[in-house]
Protein backbone atom coordinates (compact mmCIF):
# COMPACT_ATOMS: atom_id res chain seq x y z
CA UNK A 1 0.00 0.00 0.00
CA UNK A 2 1.35 3.40 -0.92
CA UNK A 3 1.11 6.51 1.25
CA UNK A 4 -1.55 7.81 -1.17
CA UNK A 5 -3.65 4.67 -0.63
CA UNK A 6 -3.20 5.05 3.13
CA UNK A 7 -4.38 8.66 2.88
CA UNK A 8 -7.60 7.46 1.23
CA UNK A 9 -8.32 5.69 4.55
CA UNK A 10 -6.63 8.20 6.89
CA UNK A 11 -6.72 11.61 5.13
CA UNK A 12 -4.29 13.23 7.59
CA UNK A 13 -1.65 10.49 7.27
CA UNK A 14 1.84 11.64 6.31
CA UNK A 15 5.26 10.01 6.12
CA UNK A 16 6.04 11.92 9.34
CA UNK A 17 3.12 10.40 11.30
CA UNK A 18 3.16 6.86 9.87
CA UNK A 19 5.85 4.32 8.96
CA UNK A 20 5.99 0.90 7.38
CA UNK A 21 6.60 -2.08 9.64
CA UNK A 22 9.91 -3.93 9.32
CA UNK A 23 8.17 -7.32 9.20
CA UNK A 24 5.57 -7.26 6.43
CA UNK A 25 5.66 -3.64 5.27
CA UNK A 26 2.20 -2.66 6.54
CA UNK A 27 1.51 0.84 7.83
CA UNK A 28 1.84 1.73 11.52
CA UNK A 29 0.85 5.09 12.97
CA UNK A 30 3.67 6.46 15.11
CA UNK A 31 1.37 6.53 18.16
CA UNK A 32 0.83 2.74 17.94
CA UNK A 33 3.29 0.09 19.10
CA UNK A 34 4.21 -3.00 17.09
CA UNK A 35 6.97 -5.42 18.09
CA UNK A 36 9.54 -6.28 15.43
CA UNK A 37 8.60 -9.94 15.98
CA UNK A 38 4.98 -9.28 14.97
CA UNK A 39 3.83 -9.22 11.35
CA UNK A 40 1.85 -6.40 9.70
CA UNK A 41 1.05 -7.33 6.12
CA UNK A 42 1.46 -4.92 3.20
CA UNK A 43 -2.23 -3.90 3.11
CA UNK A 44 -2.85 -3.87 6.87
CA UNK A 45 -2.78 -0.88 9.22
CA UNK A 46 -2.22 -0.37 12.94
CA UNK A 47 -3.35 3.00 14.29
CA UNK A 48 -4.18 4.99 17.39
CA UNK A 49 -2.77 3.55 20.62
CA UNK A 50 -3.03 -0.04 19.43
CA UNK A 51 -0.45 -2.62 20.51
CA UNK A 52 0.60 -5.63 18.44
CA UNK A 53 3.12 -7.83 20.24
CA UNK A 54 4.78 -11.22 20.27
CA UNK A 55 4.26 -13.33 17.18
CA UNK A 56 0.86 -11.79 16.36
CA UNK A 57 -0.12 -11.30 12.72
CA UNK A 58 -2.23 -8.50 11.19
CA UNK A 59 -2.81 -9.31 7.54
CA UNK A 60 -5.07 -8.84 4.55
CA UNK A 61 -6.89 -5.50 4.75
CA UNK A 62 -7.17 -5.66 8.54
CA UNK A 63 -7.13 -2.55 10.69
CA UNK A 64 -6.15 -2.70 14.37
CA UNK A 65 -6.99 0.64 15.95
CA UNK A 66 -7.91 2.58 19.05
CA UNK A 67 -6.69 0.94 22.25
CA UNK A 68 -6.79 -2.61 20.86
CA UNK A 69 -4.20 -5.19 21.90
CA UNK A 70 -3.25 -8.12 19.69
CA UNK A 71 -0.66 -10.40 21.25
CA UNK A 72 0.86 -13.84 21.49
CA UNK A 73 0.07 -15.97 18.46
CA UNK A 74 -3.16 -14.13 17.59
CA UNK A 75 -4.11 -13.64 13.95
CA UNK A 76 -6.22 -10.74 12.65
CA UNK A 77 -7.27 -10.74 9.01
CA UNK A 78 -9.93 -9.10 6.92
Determine how β-strand 57-59 pairs with β-strand 39-40: parallel
> What are the b/e assignments for 31-40, b being 16+ CB within 10 Å?
ebebbeebbb
Whole-prediction pTM: 0.94
Mean pLDDT of 55-76: 97
Give Cβ neighbours of residue 64 (< 8 Å, ≥ 6 apart). 32, 44, 45, 46, 47, 50, 52, 58, 70, 76
Arithmetic mean of pLDDT over the chain: 97
pLDDT of res. 59? 97
pLDDT of res. 68? 98
Q: CA Rg, the chain, in Å?
A: 11
Mean pLDDT of 15-36: 97
pLDDT of res. 58? 98
Amino acid sequence: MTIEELQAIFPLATADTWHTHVNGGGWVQNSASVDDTAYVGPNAQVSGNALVSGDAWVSGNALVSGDAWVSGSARVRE
